Structure 1
Amino acid sequence: MKKRVLSLLLCTAMTIGTLSGCGKEAGNDEGKTTEVLGNDAEGEMTEVKIWHDGDENIMQTIADCANEKLAEDNIKVTFEKKSGLTDQLQLYGNDESNGPDMYLYAHDSLGTFAEMGILAPITDVISEDVMEDLLPMTVEAGNYKDTQYLMPVYYETLLFMYNKAKWEGDVPETTDELYDYMVAHTDVDAGTYALVNQHSTAYNVAPVINGFGGYIIDKDANPGLNTQETKDAIAYNKKFAALEADGDYNTVTALFNEGQAAAIIGGPWLVSGIKAAGIDLGIKSLADFKLPNGNGLAPYSGVQSIGVLKYAAENKKEAIAKVLETIASPEVGIALANKSNCAPANSKAYDDADVAANEMIMAMKATAETAQPMPNIPQMSVMWGPAEAFLAAVNKSGEDIDTAAETYQQEALDAIADMQ
């Protein structure tokens, strides 16, 4: 759940709403219903209601584009914000009168909703051809137990973000070269760092674990904390951790924004604070850093995706199909990128000149080549604790990696068993 907070912050902090795109702007009022009415036309208007827990300006951008295209079809798209969306869908997911037709949310909740039986496969409503231009990683995020339930809209990944005024020379191409730079430019006693990262937070160490071929949990809900690949990754990460501040999100962010660190592993949610600090920001894709095995760093990705409720698929199939086809279009992706700095799922959106000139969005697109969708199975929710306890035991307490791996692998197995 805490990882989803970062995903929700992805474009919220960056929404600017002043560039070209579809339609008008909206505010950020909690609970506000975002809608644009179609042109008056003969025939009954069909409303398609979408629940979300994100930023109102982003939803307005989608609504503007969708309703502009759908006006002649007498279809109106309405976005309604619902805090605690998971709980809301658990309550109303089978309630045709009070629930939504669709929802737009981070993909890692999919397993929970699919197991509840409230979702229709997206391919029951649209053909696979509708998603042929969407980045493969983002499509994969919406697949659960070999069934495609979600259609991706935009996504986020971690990035290498650096202060151009403080970084000396070129940014390295390999993680070994990065480590050498850190050794030469870090003074832990003085509190100055070449690079800061939340070195004992599983989400932030996942780029190394995944890049080594390890995993926190696989798609069949098997924990991977004691696999050799995961242990090798954590051993490799440990030497970097020794040169990084021992701190949480707020600590490492402050070190970078206050000029005590030349670089940080972070995401788009940091950009507003970085700009406020007056930092000349440079960005590099984590995929561009090669590990000793030749693989690029492979962070998790959070994908904001749309799912369809079963009763809506049965009763509004034609209207919902048209809405999904519209939201999947390059035009919506371009508007999301240019108005809100969101990395669109549609690959053709990156052909737009303004999108192609956006350094951060293009870095996320590059990272999408190696990024792995955050696991969308329900058991992932209990894996953060054991994984981070494992990292802390190794990085902070100096425990033996093999011993700690077995301890926290068993803790993970017990936590999963308790879910049954």
Structure 2
Amino acid sequence: IFAMEVVMMEYTITGFMPVILASTIGALVARVVYGGERPFQLSGVELESLFDLPWIVLSALLIGLLAGLFVRVARSGNVMKRLPFPARLVLVGLLVGAVAWWYPQVQGMGYDSLGAILNDAEPLDVLLALAIGKLLLTAITVACGIPVSIIGPILVAGGAVGALCGLLGGWLLPEIAAGPELYAMLGMAAMMGAVLQAPLAALMALLELTHNPGLILPGMLAVVVAGLTSRQLCGCDGFFISVTRHGLHPLQQPLMQALSRVSVPAVMERALVRTPRRVTRAEAKALLDAKPEWVIIERSRDDKPTLALKAAALARWMLEHDENDNIDKDGRLDLLEIPGQRLELAPIHLQATLSEAFDRLNTKHVDALYVEHGHRPGKKRISGIITRDAIERYYRFSDT
């Protein structure tokens, strides 16, 4: 669900099956090698009273604001990247070292600290350091262009913020408020959902890390409130959505969404023949006997582009010229000398989607792609070609 909601940004049957298969195999291998121990051994933690719900909403509102702050700071890279990379490394090292001098818990991924938070074993000052310090240190590190994981740190920071809210709620309403462990779990999910804008992935993480289905109801409330706060009040979209056009990530654009659901074989033209550049008239006639749409002209060297000639152009030339026209001394005609539509081709694999084909057409600055499959050494296996016109006809098609 994380892969589909955050990476692929859509749910499709064709995408769901391989992702689920990969997840299942990964989980099985991990369980065989490392065992099936749960990440956090918790029991008996549940929502004891509906009076907790208003405080959960307020806590999620705070977490959403902190998530928006994290995304804003992490994306302030234009300011940080004015410094040389070694200077940024030194700056981050000094900041982390300064905070870690008093609070070493801010270092590393922090899952040990998260376990302590969920078991109510961290003092108040450590919770503050994890909630604010670890969140900002991670954001500054990302802004400096230093590769770092964010999933672990935001889970730890969210758990710390939730625990703080739970402690405050216990002080205000000691008779009815739930324990800080409940709020720590909800804060963990709410921070993940708000930063990534992935509510389902956050709820699944909450369920899988705690194995407590009783947390789904308050978890849904916390995740939704935090996500809406980050998006609507702070103006932050998902953390991994960085390249936008007209305010949308490429996979959020309706056209690219439609093209990403269809594979190349659905619209490629399969009626083609392959031939060297120079052929005899008899060979040319044999090519046309197969009734192709395109003639793929293979070149003598790999550095020369593969070309596609409209078969109709070759047939027209054969009708209009006698046997001696444009024939060289070896009795062959040059297909590059025949007037007609010729397209320069770039390769694309058979499993590609139309959105990938569209991007490749633009990046390679060509008007068509040849679809290859298999890995036979020394010779490409070409299944068909896909033109820019074919893609445009697909998304302009209407059954009305």
TM-score interval, smaller chain: under 0.3
Which structure dedicates a bigger proportion of its chain to helix?
2
TM-score, length-scaled by structure 2: 0.23
Highest relative contact order (Cα 8 Å, sep 6+), 1 or 2?
1
- Judging by fraction of residues, say which structure has more strand: 1
Larger Cα Rg: Structure 1 or Structure 2?
Answer: 2
